[in-house]
Amino acid sequence: MTAPILRNNVGSAVTVTTANAIANNAYANSADKLRINNTGNALLADFRLTGVTFAAAPVAGAVQLIAVDRDFSGNAGPTPSASMLGRIYPFSPQPSTSNASTGWVMSCNSVPLSADCDYWLYNNGTAQQIAAGCVLTAQPWSPGA
């Protein structure tokens, strides 16, 4: 019989509250990105997006987490754009036909961490704006026994 793999939190959760709305097909403002300087050497992080309020209930699209690494001196990488994509991780659940909700808790689990990275939100094709004030939280962790 094998022991289950445990999730050992590494440090405290890291959060950012967006100060700016995120338009449809747009990235969050640079002031609203979440930086994880992974000094605890965690392997992964679970992300939660809470307090989301769309202008109206989206019936398509997705909210995505975009990772852009910093250099070894801590200098930020490029701002993500249509011509400069980072690593993409989808939040779940995603809206679909007949969705009537204008906000819900979204998650993105077991995202691989690098040494120092910025995490951006991308409102991909929801056809609705996300109001300012949502909270992106990351809990770094590593597997253990």
Instruction: Decide if 109 is inside a domain.
Output: yes
Q: Is 80 exceeded by the pLDDT of residue 5?
A: no
Max distance between CA atoms of the chain, in angstroms, equals: 51
Beta strands in 1-145 (DSSP E): 6-9, 14-17, 26-27, 34-37, 44-50, 62-69, 87-90, 106-112, 116-124, 135-144
**What does the pLDDT read at residue 23?**
97
Please give the Cα distance from 123 to 27 (Å, whole number). 6
Instruction: Decide if 1 is inside a domain.
Output: no
Range of the domain at 79: 6-144
Q: How many structural domains compose the chain?
A: 1
Which CATH number belongs to the domain containing residue 93 in this structure?
2.60.120
Q: Is 90 exceeded by the pLDDT of residue 39?
A: yes
Instruction: Decide if 137 is inside a domain.
Output: yes
Please give the Cα distance from 72 to 89 (Å, whole number). 23
C-alpha distances (whole Å) from 78 to each of 37, 43, 66, 73 are: 17, 23, 12, 15
Kindly report, residue by residue over 119-145, the tens digit of the pLDDT.
999 999 999 999 999 999 999 999 986
Please give the Cα distance from 135 to 48 (Å, whole number). 8
pLDDT band for position 26 (cuts 50, 70, 90): very high
Instruction: Decide if 49 is inside a domain.
Output: yes
pTM: 0.94
Mean pLDDT of 95-111: 96
Mean pLDDT of 44-67: 97
Supply φ then ψ for residue 71, to 5 degrees.
Answer: -80, 180
**What does the pLDDT read at residue 1?**
65
